[in-house]
Amino acid sequence: MNHVISFLLLFSAGAAAKPNFVLIFADDLGYGDVGYQGGDVPTPHIDSIAKGGTIFTDGYVTCPVCAPSRAGMLSGRYQQSFGFWDNIGPYRRNKNVEPGIPTNLPILSERLKSLGYTSGLFGKTHDGDAEAMQAFNRWDEFYGFNNGASNYLGDMNRPHNPIFHNKTIVSRPYAKRGINNNDVNRNGVLVRDTDNHLTDQLGDMAVKFIEANKEKPFLCYMPFNAIHGPFQAPKELVDKYADEPDKKRRVVMAMLDSMDQNIGKVLTALRRNSLEENTLIVFLSDNGGHEASPNKPLRGKKGTYWEGGLRVPFCMSWKGTLPPGQIYKHPVISLDLMPTFIAAAGGKIDPGWKLVGVDLLPFAKGDEPGRPHQTLYWTWGARKAIRHGDMKAISQDGGKTFQLYDLASDIGEQSDLATEKPGKLKALIKRQSEWESTLMPQQWGWNKSLGFKDPNFGKPKPYHTTK
C-alpha cells in the first residue's frame, strides 16, 4: 500500500509540474504598435509580458500574411514543406486537394495532448475548410471563427462565416433578423450590441477555460482577430482616441486598446488562481502591421518581405523561471514555439517530425550563448528572402534581382550592399535556392495558374448548419 501511495504522490507531483501555456497571437499588429516598443497606444498588459520576461527584438514569422504564418507556427515546420504557400483561396492544383494543415500532420494542440494537455482556441483560425481540419476537431474547446476576417460583432457576418462555440453556431445574423448592419456599425463605430463585442467575448471565454482547467495542464491559444480589418470598435473606446485626426487610425487604436484589456483579463485570471509561476506566456503577431499600423523603425508592412512584414512584436514570460527585463537580440522565429512548449512539458522531439525550430528557454535564460538559428528562409509568390547571420538578401521579382542588407547596422533596410558584396550575396542566393528545392509545390491559393477553381469556395459548408 505504501508503494502505491508513493507512486500516486510521485505521479501527482509530476503532473502538477507540467507548466501551462498561454499563447497570444495578435493579427496584423505592427512592430511599433506596442507600448514597450514606443507605440502611441498604452498597452500595459502586453508590456507586462515583455518586461516581466524576455523581449525578442528579432522575432520573425514564416509569412507576411495570415494563414501561412499560422500554419507554420502551429505545425512547427515551414508551411511550404506541406504545400501551404498562400492564404486559403479558390484555386487548387487539382480537385482532390484539400487546403489546410493536413490531419496527418499533428499541430501544437495535438502534440501537447499526447503529453496530457487540454487545449482551447479562442479567436481566429484560418487553416482550411474541410470539416476534419476545423478547430472544433483539433482542439478540446473552440470559440471563434474560421476565416481570414470577421466583423467585431459576429452577428454582422454572412452565413459562411459564423461564430462557433465548439460545433455550435452561436452568432445570429442580423440579416436574418431584419436588422441592417448600418444601424449597428457606423463607419467602424459600433453603436449597439457592444456587450457582444468579439474581442471581449474571446477574452471572457479564455478566462472561463483557464478557470475550468486550472487543476490540470492546459494550452490556452488566443489568436485575436484584432487589429485586422474590418476596422471596428465600440463607440466608447473610439471616443477615447478622439484626438487622433485620422479616422481609420482612431478605430485601430481602440481595437488595440480592447485587445490589451482582454489580455489583461487573462493575466488577472492566472494571478487569481496562483498559476503565474506555472505558466509560460508568449505574445507575438502573425505578421507585420497593415496600412493603419506603425512598423517603425522597420521598412515595409504586411504582405512585404521587408522587415516590416516579417519581423513582429515577440516576447515571453514565465514568472520565477525566466528572469525579468531581458532583451534577446539574435533571430528567433514562430517555428520555435512548438519545440519550446514540448521541452517545457517534459516531452521529447522525434526527428521524424521534421520540426525546424529550437527550444528557446535556454537562450532566454542565458544558459545557451549561441544563436538559435544561423539561417532563416522565406518564399511566397514572387517574394524571396533569406537571413544568414545578420545579412539579409531579398527579392521582389521571383529571384531575378536581389538586394542585400546588413541588419546589424541597417534595421530599416536603406543601404543595398548587393554591388558592394557580390560574393556574399551569391552565397545567400545559393542557400535560398537549395532550401526551396526541398519544398512541396504550392497546392492552393489565389493564383489562377494553379488550374482548378473550387466552385464551392466561400459558400456555407455542412457544418455551418445551425443545430
One pLDDT digit (tens) per residue for the chain, 467 residues: 444 433 333 343 344 479 999 999 999 999 999 999 999 999 999 999 999 999 999 999 999 999 999 999 999 999 999 999 999 999 999 999 999 999 999 999 999 999 999 999 999 998 888 999 999 999 999 999 999 999 999 999 999 999 999 999 999 999 999 999 999 999 999 999 999 999 999 999 999 999 999 999 999 999 999 999 999 999 999 999 999 999 999 999 999 999 999 999 999 999 999 999 999 999 999 999 999 999 999 999 999 999 999 999 999 999 999 999 999 999 999 999 999 999 999 999 999 999 999 999 999 998 998 999 999 999 999 999 999 999 999 999 999 999 999 999 999 999 999 999 999 999 999 999 999 999 999 999 999 999 999 999 989 999 998 65
CB 184 within 8 A of CB 173: no
State residue 128's pLDDT score.
86
- Pure H helices in 53-186: 66-75, 108-113, 135-138
| CB-count burial class (<10 Å; 0-12, 13-18, 19+) for 282 | buried
* Residue 445: CB atoms within 10 Å: 24
Q: Give the strand pairing for 391-395 and 20-26.
A: unpaired
Report the alpha-carbon distance of residue 338 to residue 351 in Å, rounded: 14
Going from N- to C-terminal start, the domains of the chain cover 19-373+458-464, 377-436
Q: Which three cell numbers stand for residue 390?
A: 545578420
* Residue 72: CB atoms within 10 Å: 27
Architecture of the structural domain at 377-436: 2-Layer Sandwich (3.30)
Which strand (E) or helix (H) includes residue 445?
Answer: strand 444-445
DSSP E strands, 75-159: 91-92, 118-125, 141-146
pTM tops 0.85, yes or no: yes
Residue 290, helix vs strand vs coil: coil
CB 381 within 8 A of CB 86: yes
Q: Which three cell numbers stand for residue 463?
A: 457544418
| Degrees to nearest 5, angle at CA 153 with 152 and 156 | 110
State residue 429's pLDDT score.
98
State residue 14's pLDDT score.
43
Write down the residue that cell numbers 536603406 correspond to.
414
State residue 356's pLDDT score.
96
Q: Which three cell numbers stand for residue 194?
A: 457592444
Q: Which residue in 281, 340, 287, 279 sits closest to 313, CA to CA?
A: 287
State residue 465's pLDDT score.
84
Amino acid residing at 421: K
- Residue 387's DSSP bridge partners are 376, 392
Phi/psi for 19 (5° steps) reads: -75, 155
Q: Which residue in 123, 154, 125 sits closest to 138, CA to CA?
A: 125
Q: Does domain 19-373+458-464 correspond to CATH entry 3.40.720.10?
A: yes
